[in-house]
Copies of this chain bind each other. A is one copy, B any other.
Amino acid sequence: MEVPVRSKGAAPSPWSPRECELLGVTLELLQEHGYDRLSLDAVATTARASKATLYRRWPTKAELVFAAFVEGTRQVAVDPDTGTLRGDLLQLGKQISAHVGTHASTIRAVLMEISRSDKLAAMLQEQFLDQRKALMSSVLARAVDRGEIQASAITEDLWDMLPGYLTYRSVLTGRAPSRRTVQDLVDNVLIPSLTRHNG
């Protein structure tokens, strides 16, 4: 049995260490060459893997790239657990900005493929968004436990404001979020919203 790779606080990976390596190579080549010019041949050659191995796991370029992006995110999406709500949100915001900033063009390419494939859309939901939501939920639950916010101030439907806005900035505009953007978002928007039912 293969032992799944697991970074501290992150969800367990569905891939073996060797598969994670292949996905890591894919992500590197994507950043270097972009989605359009990435070939499965180049991934196989760089990773010294057989093409059969690649195709068996990921039958299309879109699936390989999607898996590489999700795995890359899983590895950096670590629960910050800094001891305060503000600290946790700042940390998450920094993580997300760095990650979506680095992979903005990959995300754009993957989106295009997702709109063409129901299978990829389902994978996005199960493998990516559900995981991110669980992380945000534990950050907020701890803040409620510490008495920093009221549970009633949490709007379930808007759980993805922080990652959503930061992703929008990197992927849909030319204004990648700065460290200051994250700080303003936390101090001027998210904390005032989450503490609006306090005392």
Contact = CB atoms under 8 A, between A and B. Distances in A.
Interface of A: 104-105, 108-109, 111-112, 115, 121, 124-125, 129, 153, 155, 157-158, 160-161, 164-165, 167-169, 171-174, 178, 180-181, 184-185, 188-190, 192-193, 196
B121 A115 contact: no
A158 B112 contact: no
A115 B111 contact: no
Contacts of A181: 157-158
Given A108-B111, A111-B108, A185 B158 contact: yes
A37 to B, nearest CB: 12
Contacts of A167: 168, 172
A178 B164 CA distance: 16
In the complex this chain forms, how many copies of it are found? 2
A190 B161 CA distance: 11
A105 to B, nearest CB: 5
A57 to B, nearest CB: 24
Contacts of A185: 158
A21 B48 CA distance: 55
Contacts of A174: 121, 124-125
Contacts of A155: 184, 188-189
A111 B109 CA distance: 9
A143 B35 CA distance: 45
A4 B74 CA distance: 51
A109 to B, nearest CB: 7
Task: Sort A-B residue pairs by CB-CB distance and give the 3 closest, nearest first.
Answer: A164-B168, A192-B196, A168-B168
Contact of A115 (B108, B165, B188): B108
Given A111-B108, A189-B193, A184 B158 contact: yes
Given A112-B112, A155-B188, A164-B168, 18 more contacts: A108-B115, A109-B112, A111-B112, A121-B174, A125-B174, A157-B178, A158-B165, A158-B185, A158-B188, A158-B189, A160-B169, A161-B165, A164-B164, A164-B165, A165-B168, A168-B172, A189-B189, A192-B193
